[in-house]
Amino acid sequence: MSPPGHERICHISSVWVDAHKTADDWVIKMSETPIGAIILAAGKGTRMKSDLPKVLHSLAGKPMVRHVTDLVERLAPQRICVVIAPGMAQVAAAVAPYRTAIQAEALGTGHAALSAAPEMRDFTGNVFILFGDTPLITAETLQAMLSARSSATSPAVVVLGMRPAGPNAYGRLIQAADGSLERIVEFKDATDAEKAAPLCNSGVMLVDGARLFGWLDQIGNDNAKGEYYLTDIVALARADGAACAVVEGSEEELLGINSRVELAAGEAILQRRLREAAMLAGVTMPMPETVYLHCDTRFGRDVFVGPHTVFGPGVTIGNNVEIKGFCHFEGAKVADGAILGPYARLRPGADIGENAHLGNFVEIKKATIEAGAKVNHLSYIGDARVGAGANIGAGTITCNYDGFDKHFTDIGAGAFIGTNTSLVAPVTIGDGAMTAAGSTISRNVPADTLSIERASEEHKPGWVARFRARKLRAKQDHAAD
């Protein structure tokens, strides 16, 4: 069942940058047979050298296991079960509201899949078996597996294979002369001839749910590792007279992530996909390799993103926006026609209006910058509203925090805030009002009023010469001692 608030069929518009979408409007064909999935996520991930469970390490800001669940969700599944180890409450919380099952002991992939029996044994549709640490599989590949399952030969088991470029220790897929799958041989159990087979096992399968657990119940552990291999399901299916088939995927999308090095490699792959999707949807990136995108970043058309810009979670960019580079955004919304940067920072709650301008070293936090307003230089605007057409001078700050509470600054439409003004919140600057440069404003300023707050300026003729002479004598006296 789809989780609450999750659409069964996800329409991908031209403004939604998506890690698994590379064309403008592809549509997943819905299977007539119900779809379920078992996602194996019980691995401790010792090579990660982390207290965080492996599958919760993130790619493009989202835990790996959520990439997998979200991918399956595109197929409108009726049931998803995530297999976890004892004590993995964090993983269970991360994948909620999907079902979870506990693999009490780490006895192999076959045992892990069998651990899902309490939640999945009565499910008779198509069942994917996927891995929480293999987050880069595409929806097109899953669709290809479904198509193979519904082909004329009606294979009961469809295995996802790959052809790695170099030497490896993957299990081998042994095919019959007609291309059907005869068996899977784990590398440690393979003969030299079997190791020479070019097609390797990714571990990912699509199985007839009505027969899945009958085969899982029969798997033994008489092998080099003494484990219950999920791969044995192919031989068991063949022994029952069922056909087995292979679908090939790319080595890149089947990368299993077990270390921080592989995590970085996966991030690079996903970032490339996200950038390509954004550019195909109408975003210009002159140096895309320097831009970091979050998996939920949304762009409009004709957006320009300059080099070295980072998009954190929850950022939506409208049409015809220019981002000049070296910017950092998170939790922000930018309306059409805005110009940002370079070196602008938008923090959560920033809402930038149409045709607004934010310049270099400007930071916006939990503030609305209305249409046509300008904050062009070296300013901090937090917990505030800047009205339409207002101009904020260089060095302006809203003093929004008193050590205990945050306070609001309201700047009216068409207001002009002079350079190096400190606005001590809570304070209101009326429409069309002005503040003189260098002022500290702590009282409300009525509309169309000029507010000046400065100490009186005093000139002391000759003071500098006397000061320098005094300092020089002191220096000479110190040297004489």
Write out pLDDT tens, residues 173-195: 999 989 899 999 989 888 999 89
> What is the pLDDT, as a whole number, of residue 455?
84
Q: Domain coordinates of the chain in residue numbers?
A: 35-248, 283-451
**Average pLDDT score over the chain:** 92
Secondary structure, 3-state, the chain: CCCCCCCCCCCCCCCECCCCCCCCCCCCCCCCCCEEEEEECCCCCHHHCCCCCHHHCEECCEEHHHHHHHHHHCCCCCEEEEEECCCCHHHHHHHCCCEEEECCCCCCHHHHHHCCHHHHCCCCCEEEEEECCCCCCCHHHHHHHHHHHCCCCCCCEEEEEECCCCCCCCCEEEECCCCCEEEEECHHHCCHHHHCCCCEEEEEEEEEHHHHHHHHCCCCCCCCCCCCCHHHHHHHHHHCCCCEEEEECCCCCCCCCCCHHHHHHHHHHHHHHHHHHHHHCCEECCCHHHCECCCCCEECCCEEECCCCEECCCCEECCCCEECCCCEECCCEECCCCEECCCCEECCCCEECCCCEEEECCEEEEEEECCCCEEEECCEEEEEEECCCCEECCCCEEECECCCCECCEEECCCCEECCCCEEECCEEECCCCEECCCCEECCCECCCCEECCCCCCCCCCCHHHHHHHHHHHHHHHHHHC
Q: Is 226 exposed, middle or buried (0-12, 13-18, 19+ CB in 10 A)?
A: exposed
Q: Is the pLDDT of residue 6 over 80?
A: no
pLDDT, average across residues 280-298: 98
pLDDT at 11: 27
Q: Determine the pLDDT at residue 287.
A: 98
Task: Name the most confidently modeled range: 24-33, 162-171, 438-447.
Answer: 438-447
Per-residue confidence band for 140, with pLDDT thresholds at 50, 70 and 90: very high
pLDDT for res 29 = 55
334-360 tens-digit pLDDT = 999 999 999 999 999 999 999 999 999
Q: Are 51 and 308 in contact (CB under 8 A)?
A: no
* Mean pLDDT (whole number) for 50-61: 97
**What tens digit of pLDDT does each residue of 368-384 get?**
999 999 999 999 999 99
What Cα–Cα distance (Å) separates residue 433 from each residue in 107, 355, 420?
73, 21, 16
Q: Which of 20, 57, 357, 377 is catalytic?
A: 377
Is residue 3 over pLDDT 60?
no
Q: Is the pLDDT of residue 454 over 90?
A: no
Give residue for tokens 């059907």.
180
Is the C-alpha dihedral spanning 144, 150, 153, 154 positive or negative? Answer: positive
- Output the CATH code of domain 283-451: 2.160.10.10
Q: Do residues 284 and 304 lie in contact, with contact meaning Cβ atoms separated by under 8 Å? A: yes
Confidence bin at 222 (pLDDT 50/70/90): confident
Q: Locate tokens 């950038």: which residue?
A: 275
Grade residue 24 by pLDDT with cuts at 50, 70 and 90.
very low
Which of 110-114, 219-223, 416-420 is least confident? 219-223
| Catalytic status, residue 377 | yes
Record the tokens describing residue 393, joined without a space: 């001078």
Percentage of the chain exceeding pLDDT 70? 94
Q: How far apart are CA 241 and CA 138, in angstroms?
A: 31
| Yes or no: domain 35-248 corresponds to CATH 3.90.180.10 | no
**Structural contact between residues 198 and 175, judged by C-beta atoms closer than 8 angstroms:** no
Are 68 and 132 in contact by the 8 Å Cβ rule? The answer is yes
